[in-house]
A = this chain, B = another copy of it.
Amino acid sequence: MRDFLPVDVRKREYVIGIIKQVYESYGYEPLETPAVENIETLMGKYGEEGNQLVFKILKRGEKLAQSASFSSSERDESRSLNDLADLALRYDLTVPLARVVADRRNELPKFFKRYQIQPVWRADRPARGRFREFYQCDVDAIGSSSVIVEAEIITAASDILDRLGFDDFVVRINHRQLLSQMASDAGISNENEAFVALDKLDKIGVEGVKNDLLSRGIDGATAGKFLSSVTGDVTFPELNRVIALCNSPRVKIDPSLARGLSYYTGTIMEINVPDIAGSLGGGGRYDGLIGMFGKEQIPACGFSLGLERILVVMDERGMFPPEIAESRAADVMVTIWNDETIPDSLRLADDLRKQNLRVLVYPEADKLGKQVKYADSTGVPFVCLLGPDEIENGVAKLKNMRTGEETTGPAVEIFPVIARSR
């Protein structure tokens, strides 16, 4: 897990700000759920591997003592370990959404469109570019099975990437019914096994997927038939409707797109750029999940943008605007002449802030050279020098740290110089 220093936070907030703004423009509303869920809410939703990767929280106080004494007289070890935890860290944003919708159906609009940008935690072995705490940026539309939902989700995600400056992404779409049909036509009985194998196509290629299918007990002829159909040309009415409504050359049917999760029931989608393996985001329709948490079966479709991956690509390509990439603590630093002039310096700083400038005050009456050197080390573009002469004359001396140029004048004259340079 990582600490984010100021420049990292600013880059993340820049991207998150655009994501929020675009999703708000489509009428998606913000939702936040707690980091911690009851352990039963999460268990069994992400497959056996997922169960292992959920961070589990130790019971506390008496509850723990009871479980511990219970478990020591208990033979079944895995049972006793589960008794130690009652809570768990959020593993994704979809299951908490499904819980909220099932619990609070009456407080939410019939067509609930929500976005949610929060961290999730997975007990993966740390690997390059993978973290155990990472942000997901999810958008979901609940309550309608109309194809308008898919079109809006794809268009909104595309708008975000456009706004961030991506000009080479492709949106691949497929449909779970089409995949099922192709699996069944090829003679595959356990389609989920086949989809999990096919989901690795990007990483391991056609031969790799074929071997994976063989290792799952699917014979060579069946695997070959399935692979030739998913890598061929197909058409599917609902996908054609999605493409027509998106009205963008970026959106393409790809019958080999599988997506790993078993809960998808309709259109699935994924966004890729050429220079990075894996996706910038993916999603799909899942009309069965919310029913697992309540009596009512409610249709839903969602998409998750991969914030960490977007940030990596933007960094590598130098896509951040300069004011974000070279972010600084402040627009100007005010110096301190001596202990007696501290109030004057604080007053000047206050005046500068009233002009919407971000202002550092050097905290000590050090030698002036030391103060200016410190300003330089922070990258602040201007220093305001305030000595007894300036105070007496009601002026300040402004030093441009890039050019070395100095201007002396009343505050009203120096404000615009700083403001202009931002």
Contact = CB atoms under 8 A, between A and B. Distances in A.
Interface of A: 1-6, 8-10, 12-13, 24-27, 29-36, 52, 55-58, 60-61, 64, 68, 72, 77, 80-81, 84-85, 87, 89, 96, 100, 104, 107-111, 113-114, 119, 121, 123, 132-133, 141, 144, 146, 148-149, 151-152, 155, 244-245, 247, 329-330, 333, 336, 342-343, 346, 350, 353, 356-364, 374, 377-378
Contact of A377 (B33, B109, B152): B109
A359 to B, nearest CB: 6
A361 B9 contact: no
Contact of A3 (B56, B58, B100): B100
Given A10-B30, A109-B374, 4 more contacts: A27-B359, A55-B57, A144-B363, A146-B364
A27 B358 contact: yes
A35 B119 contact: yes
Contacts of A357: 25
Contacts of A55: 36, 57-58, 60, 87
17 contacts: A3-B34, A5-B107, A5-B108, A6-B30, A26-B359, A35-B89, A36-B55, A55-B60, A55-B87, A58-B85, A68-B80, A72-B72, A109-B329, A109-B374, A144-B364, A148-B364, A244-B343
Contacts of A151: 346
Contact of A64 (B64, B72, B81, B155): B81
Contact of A60 (B27, B58, B119, B123): B123
Nearest to A116: B9
Given A109-B329, A144-B363, A148-B364, A104 B3 contact: yes
A290 to B, nearest CB: 15
Contacts of A26: 353, 358-360
A381 to B, nearest CB: 13
Nearest to A34: B1
Given A58-B58, A109-B378, A343-B244, A360 B3 contact: no
Contacts of A353: 25-26
A140 to B, nearest CB: 13
A87 B30 CA distance: 30
A35 B343 contact: no
B9 A111 contact: no
Given A109-B329, A148-B363, A346 B60 contact: no
Q: Which of A12, A24, A33, A57 has the most CB of B within 10 A?
A: A57
Nearest to A107: B5
A100 B244 CA distance: 51
A342 B6 contact: no
A29 B245 CA distance: 44
B245 A343 contact: yes
Nearest to A28: B329
B342 A148 contact: yes
Contacts of A133: 34-36
B13 A30 contact: yes
Contact of A342 (B121, B245, B330): B245
Given A30-B10, A342-B148, A363-B144, A329 B113 contact: yes
A250 to B, nearest CB: 15
A100 B4 CA distance: 10
B25 A363 contact: no
Nearest to A32: B4
A177 B166 CA distance: 58
Contacts of A27: 329-330, 333, 358-361
